[in-house]
Amino acid sequence: MTLKKYFTTPIYYVNALPHIGTAYCTLATDTLARYWRKKIGKENVMFLTGTDENSQKTIDAAEKAGQSVVEYLDEMAGGFKKCWDDIGISYDDFIRTTEERHTKVVTEILQKMYDNGDIYLGNYTGLYCTGCETFLKPDELDENKHCPAHKRAPQEIEEENYFFRLSKYADKLLDLLNTPGFMEPEKRRNEMISFIKGGLEDISLSREGAKIGIELPFDPKHKTYVWVEAVVNYYTSVKSLDKMEFWDEVIHVIGKDITRFHSIIWPAMLMSAGEKTPKKVFAHGFFTVNGEKMSKSLGNVIAPRDLSEQYGNDALRVGLLSSFEFGNDGDFSLDGFDGVYTHKLAGGVGNLFQRVVVLVEKFLEGKKPTITKKHTERLMAQFNTAMENMRIQEAIYTCFQAVHEANQFLNETEVWKVVKEDQEKGKIILGELLEYLEIITDMAEVILPETAPKMKAMLGDAENIGERCILFPRIES
């Protein structure tokens, strides 16, 4: 059977439009999908993103906007799609949890869990934060007894709830977490293992008072707890598209904040429903902006378009993904971003293409010399290994390394002098430089997808060099 890959991003809440935090995750996942499409063919790759709509946040935000919930949701889901389309996200499916197909699949899964005896009725008393859409334990609150992430007091809730027998799956979950490659990075895997070893409790699965949500099939007075149905979206997509062959190969790319839902609760739900657990969960880190958490109150929330309108989509992608290691926390700064554009893209990639193409035009009348194969294998192996191990930053660095090597070679050989004095010798050097340009173009198809076609056009056909263009224009700040 041919290799398949199925990548998913978290589905995002719609109380605000995308910012560069959610764009970071979406761009990373898009880059992985692009890599694999190139390697195994686009029919063998599937990439899903979407919106998480059945949340109290939706109700609050719609009210604030003075819109009906349906109107609000349509507008926001449209806003997400438009943003992703604008910045070049190549999703194959976009799922909304208010869609009929999702309700249908969630209902089927819940019914199976219920039939397996894993759902029971009980009473719940606890502290609920609508910001997180989760129950918090008293020891998780800050000194003001507020949710530490949302800085407000959680609601005290006492109600009849259905519970999911999560505790029953502790051993099976430990086995899963010990399956090589299932949970990465390692530090997140260790956190999940100690969480389970600390004693896994059953979780509340329904909300009696919820104003929005999917009704429980066995008791329609209750609505499904938003997180419990949201994680099902990944399964809904392939099931509804009749593409179940992708399910075995699903890789959930998420932020570290939602690891427990993806590597403990969701796999246990699948075990209970008798379905296959995900192949991999990869949790990336969080970044601050100039050392500060991005937040509305600080007024430092950056929209993807704030950057892409000025610098272009490829700069947004590479600027974000090269800032810090995928899987670790990091910081993003506008100065650093501008530096990547100016030095690595315009001054690096763009300048190298100009220099080499001008030399071929000027001294060889645009006729391409024989292109060597001295560096392709080494550099492409380095790039491919990085991408296949989710080390996106390293893959980007490999591209920059190729630019650096080529520039160094160009300067050391002083090819512009050589080609005047000894054309044959000059041709050999230019053949090697063109090899570098081909390597960079190959990598660009994954990491600089909008620039890659321009690079190809500059490289021309088998015999002649193509027309020159400015790959990364100077930015007036």
**Which residues are CB-neighbours of 345 under 8 A, at least 6 positions away?**
314, 315, 318, 448, 471, 472
Say whether residue 61 binds ligand MSP (CB under 6 A): no
Q: Is 452 helix (H, G, I), strand (E, B) or coil?
A: helix
DSSP string, 364-405: HTTB--PPP-SSHHHHHHHHHHHHHTT-HHHHHHHHHHHHHH
> Among residues 52 and 435, whose Cβ is nearest to ligand MSP?
52
CB of 361 to ligand MSP, least distance (A): 44
CB of 467 to ligand MSP, least distance (A): 40
Dist. CA 367–CA 463, nearest whole Å: 6
Say whether residue 443 binds ligand MSP (CB under 6 A): no
**Which residues are CB-neighbours of 381 under 8 A, at least 6 positions away?**
none
Say whether residue 258 binds ligand MSP (CB under 6 A): yes
Q: What one-character DSSP code corresponds to residue 464?
A: B
Partner residues linked to 283 by β-bridges: 254
Number of residues that bind ligand MSP (CB under 6 A): 19
> Among residues 330 and 466, whose Cβ is nearest to ligand MSP?
330
Dist. CA 433–CA 439, nearest whole Å: 10
> Among residues 336 and 431, whose Cβ is nearest to ligand MSP?
336
Say whether residue 472 binds ligand MSP (CB under 6 A): no
Say whether residue 414 binds ligand MSP (CB under 6 A): no
Q: Identify residues 90-119 at the interface with ligand MSP (CB under 6 A).
A: none
CB of 264 to ligand MSP, least distance (A): 13
Side-chain-facing half-sphere of 328: CA atoms under 13 Å:
11
Q: Is 279 helix (H, G, I), strand (E, B) or coil?
A: coil
Say whether residue 24 binds ligand MSP (CB under 6 A): yes
Q: Are 232 and 101 in contact (CB under 8 A)?
A: no
**What distances in angstroms separate CA 10 from CA 21, 175, 254, one per listed residue?**
12, 24, 6
Say whether residue 11 binds ligand MSP (CB under 6 A): yes
Angle subtended by helix axes 392-413 and 423-447, to nearest 10: 170
Say whether residue 437 binds ligand MSP (CB under 6 A): no
Among 5, 22, 135, 237, which residue sits at the site for ligand MSP (rule: CB under 6 A)?
A: 22
CB of 305 to ligand MSP, least distance (A): 17
Q: Identify residues 224-253 at the interface with ligand MSP (CB under 6 A).
A: 230-231, 233
CB of 456 to ligand MSP, least distance (A): 32
Q: Are 28 and 287 in contact (CB under 8 A)?
A: no
Among 294, 346, 379, 418, which residue sits at the site for ligand MSP (rule: CB under 6 A)?
A: 294
> Among residues 11 and 307, whose Cβ is nearest to ligand MSP?
11
> Among residues 10 and 312, whose Cβ is nearest to ligand MSP?
10
> Among residues 13 and 341, whose Cβ is nearest to ligand MSP?
13
Say whether residue 84 binds ligand MSP (CB under 6 A): no
Say whether residue 257 binds ligand MSP (CB under 6 A): yes
Helix (H) or strand (E) holding 9: strand 5-13
Rg (alpha carbons) of the chain, rounded to whole number: 26
Dist. CA 352–CA 350, nearest whole Å: 6
Say whether residue 83 binds ligand MSP (CB under 6 A): no
Q: Are 370 and 427 in contact (CB under 8 A)?
A: yes
Say whether residue 307 binds ligand MSP (CB under 6 A): no
The closest of 311, 325, 319 to 337, measured between CA atoms, is 319
Say whether residue 350 binds ligand MSP (CB under 6 A): no
CB of 237 to ligand MSP, least distance (A): 12
The closest of 246, 314, 313 to 7, measured between CA atoms, is 246
Q: Are 338 and 477 in contact (CB under 8 A)?
A: yes
Say whether residue 255 binds ligand MSP (CB under 6 A): yes
CB of 320 to ligand MSP, least distance (A): 9
Which residues of the shown chain bind ligand MSP in the complex (CB under 6 A)?
Answer: 10-13, 21-22, 24-25, 52, 230-231, 233, 254-255, 257-258, 286-287, 294
